[in-house]
Homo-oligomer: A and B are copies of this chain.
Amino acid sequence: MNAEDSIKVGIAGLGTVGSGTVNVIRRNAREISSRIGRPLQIAHIGARRDNPACDTSDIRVSRDIFAVANDPEIDILVELIGGTDTARELVLTAIHNGKHIVTANKALIAEHGNEIFHAAHDKGVDVAFEAAVAGGIPILKALGEGLAANHINWVAGIINGTGNFILTEMREKGREFEDVLREAQALGYAEADPAFDVNGTDAAHKLTILASIAFGIPLQFSKVYTEGIERITPEDVLAAEQLGYRIKHLGIAKDTGRGIELRVHPTLIPRDVLLASVNGVMNAVMVDGDAVGPTLYYGAGAGDEPTGSAVVADIIELGRELTADHDERVPYLGFRADAMAATPVLPIEDVFCSFYIRLHVQDRTGVLADITRILTEHSISIEAMFQKDVGEDELVPIVMLTHQVSERDLNDALEKISALPAVVEPDTMRIRVEMLDA
């Protein structure tokens, strides 16, 4: 295949995830083509109406989604319409036409996956559905490839963001279920009909898929035991805390040796396990493998671009399969060798950080004034400062947090501060601060 030819993608459905997918492909076009080795082109969109959240002005748009599945130019059909009936028909049509499939549709895969894979296998096309479980978290890839050496013992995940938001609010603020649910709907987290979120159906779809990849069993959605969070009260949330636990709505798949457990239900988990600290709308999946032990994968489980991230990753993967020789399906360092960036690495002096500074001073009188004067001269502002009680040898510890400053300015200032007669120079400590916010 000619590397100059673009990979041609057709997208059916232009709702939240559809617009996120279009926007990610447009914005990161250069990096994406450096990863695939060929440009990616959105050649055809099928949608009942336009979505002002994304620009489709230079893309062919049809009102009939089947026009996309039947478009001979398309290599990959991306199914983002949701639901099961029309989606199933659309995907089977595209497969019949020899197109590879990418879908974010958990219900479709959980309920009709066995049939779809059978059809795809017959036509020799691929079906990718990373976005169907836990949104942007690449959990299916981790399970099916990254942990492929393991016998999987169990998988346990917070795989519905709305439910986790409700339980988090109930715990942090002592609120009632119904009250938080109304807020979640107002915030757009929950659907107008939030039943699938809170009664566990959505999580059961995702768990069905996780379990098949974990244990190599067929998709068996009808066998998942499912219990919602509607009956959880603030009293239970509080009692669980008092016992050292937190209540989370988990999907659990476990290989017991006697058979597989598949269940979605509210669950008390110890307060000090990492999963208990996954709050708000975030998702996380724990996987316990016999070789690797416990692992955890955390991120946004829904939303336009987080889900689009997984959709486009699947498109890139298919693009790589269509493009590369076997030895370079994924380039050694992810990007093609002929497309490496020349971005410079910055010397540490040019890095901007907040800093924790800890000094030991012999005598407080006047020293603080000297220190703050030096900091001001270097345009370094202080976010927090405290002096501790006199320590050993009558030394007074002073601790400061600075606002953002370049390493160069901070070093200059610290050199002058350390030269002050009252400062015990070898004790001076500085540690960088990172907020790790997005």
Contact = CB atoms under 8 A, between A and B. Distances in A.
A213 B340 CA distance: 10
Interface in A233-269: 233, 235-236, 239-240, 242-243, 245, 247, 250, 252, 255-256, 258-263, 265-269
A200 B330 CA distance: 29
Given A35-B148, A149-B316, A156-B436, A136 B274 contact: no
B356 A243 contact: yes
Interface stretch (A73-81, A82-90, A179-187, A286-294): A286-294
A231 interface: yes
Nearest to A354: B268
A405 to B, nearest CB: 14
Contacts of A434: 156, 250, 252, 267-269
A223 B349 CA distance: 12
Nearest to A436: B273
Interface string A138-163: 10011111111111010010000000
A133 B273 CA distance: 23
A53 interface: no
A34 interface: yes
A388 B241 CA distance: 14
A212 interface: yes
Query: Chain copies in the assembly?
Result: 2
A327 interface: yes
Contacts of A328: 121, 126
A177 interface: no
Given A150-B309, A313-B148, A432-B267, A290 B333 contact: no
A343 B256 CA distance: 10
Interface stretch (A8-16, A41-49, A60-68, A299-307): A299-307
Interface stretch (A25-33, A191-199, A366-374, A410-418): A25-33
A217 B299 CA distance: 25
B309 A149 contact: yes
A27 B262 CA distance: 25
Given A434-B252, A435-B269, A28 B290 contact: yes
A397 interface: yes
A382 interface: no
Contacts of A275: 436
A214 B156 CA distance: 28
A362 B299 CA distance: 45
A429 interface: yes
Nearest to A36: B148
Contacts of A422: none
A333 B136 contact: no
A20 interface: yes
A305 B317 CA distance: 28
B291 A306 contact: yes
Given A233-B429, A266-B432, 11 more contacts: A113-B332, A117-B332, A125-B327, A126-B332, A214-B334, A239-B358, A245-B356, A260-B346, A267-B432, A291-B308, A292-B309
